[in-house]
Structure 1
Amino acid sequence: MSEIRTFSIRLTEEADYVFRIAFDETPIPDLHTDEESPLGGDSGPNPARLLVAAVANCLSASLLFALRKFKNSPGAITARATGRLERNAEKRWRIGQVDVEIDLPGAASDYSQLDRLLGQFENFCIVTESVRNGIPVDVKVRDAAGDILHDSTRAASPTATWMI
């Protein structure tokens, strides 16, 4: 039997393309997002940037955990991530590639078990491995009365369940 845990967020539109994201049941401060101009006003990160940031953050945290597991004290690691936007066959923008470069503050010889931990840290990154394998996304749209107007789980089209 597999273990399943869930978490929730709540989005609220505050202005054209500006959303407040609340992280339910946590003390985490709300986050504001916005689309790039000319669609939005560039007042916060857009979802594509958040996805790339999540991949880089998860990989960095996973590497830090692995380093510490083998009794290393790496100091502050840094990372730079680049997302490549490209058009798909339907001419819609998609994230086609994410490149992440993580910099350790010391020389390779400063770290014990480096080859071993470098060979496995990516496998423990929840976000990266989820994105790499594709995540099914089911979508429902309701009106003010709570009536379901759209349910991708009931749609006949294979494109109804979106993949990140």
Structure 2
Amino acid sequence: MSDTQEFSITLEQESDYVFRISFDDTPIPSLVTDESPPLGGDAGPNPSRLLTAAVANCLSASLLFALRKFKNTPGKIVTRATAHMARNEHGRLRVESVDATITLPGLAQDYQQLPRVLAQFEDFCIVTESVRAGVAVNVSVQDQDGTQLHGSQPQAPA
């Protein structure tokens, strides 16, 4: 059995910068995204917000998994994540860093094996560890007949 998995999404432009994301082969409802003004109208989260949400969600779920692994039953976990945007050497805006603060209900002594939990939970987080390590993104552009118009060279993770 292979450890490799894959999934697909479909993005379809609805208007201007508004796109509908469908999560292929799942019953998950579609999601609308949009750019912030002045390009878009904030009809949905933009890609930077989705990236930040993905990091925060993955960290929270990983911490919950690690807590439960050691028989803890925490109440509601609250995570606040802040993305820091900066321009690169070419003047292009990029997500430079993400700060995530996870708040557990109760006090540290309420949890079993908390030092072990905290030492390992980030390693379970697929998204955060992928972003930290760098993710190769290969891009191709094709016309409606499937003719390839553009293909980026694969970028090795940094």
Give TM-score scaled by structure 1 length. 0.93
Paired with 1:77 and 1:106, the residues of 2 have a C-alpha distance of 10
Alignment of 1:128 onto 2:137:
no
Instruction: Please tell me whether the aligned partners of residues 139 and 161 of structure 1 are also in contact (alpha carbons under 8 angstroms).
Output: no
SS in 2 for 1:120: helix
SS in 2 for 1:97: strand
Identity over aligned pairs, percent: 63
- Residues 108-123 of structure 1: pairs in structure 2 closer than 5 A: 108-123=108-123
| Equivalent in the alignment of 1:11 | 11
Gaps of 5+ in 1: 154-159
Paired with 1:38 and 1:59, the residues of 2 have a C-alpha distance of 31
Q: Rate the CA distance shift 1:46–1:162 in 2: closer, same or farther, 3 A.
A: farther
Alignment of 1:65 onto 2:72:
no
Q: Cα deviations across residues 79-115 of structure 1 (Å, max 9, x unaligned)? A: 0000000000000000001000000011000000000
Displacement after TM superposition at 1:163 (Å):
6.5
Alignment of 1:82 onto 2:79:
no
Give TM-score scaled by structure 2 length. 0.96
Paired with 2:42 and 2:156, the residues of 1 have a C-alpha distance of 25
Gaps of 5+ in 2: none
Q: Cα deviations across residues 127-149 of structure 1 (Å, max 9, x unaligned)? A: 00000000000000001221000
Displacement after TM superposition at 1:162 (Å):
8.5
Paired with 1:118 and 1:25, the residues of 2 have a C-alpha distance of 34
Displacement after TM superposition at 1:161 (Å):
3.5
Instruction: Please tell me whether the aligned partners of residues 133 and 157 of structure 2 are also in contact (alpha carbons under 8 angstroms).
Output: no
Paired with 1:161 and 1:62, the residues of 2 have a C-alpha distance of 28
Instruction: Please tell me whether the aligned partners of residues 20 and 33 of structure 1 are also in contact (alpha carbons under 8 angstroms).
Output: yes
| Equivalent in the alignment of 1:143 | 143
Aligned residues: 158
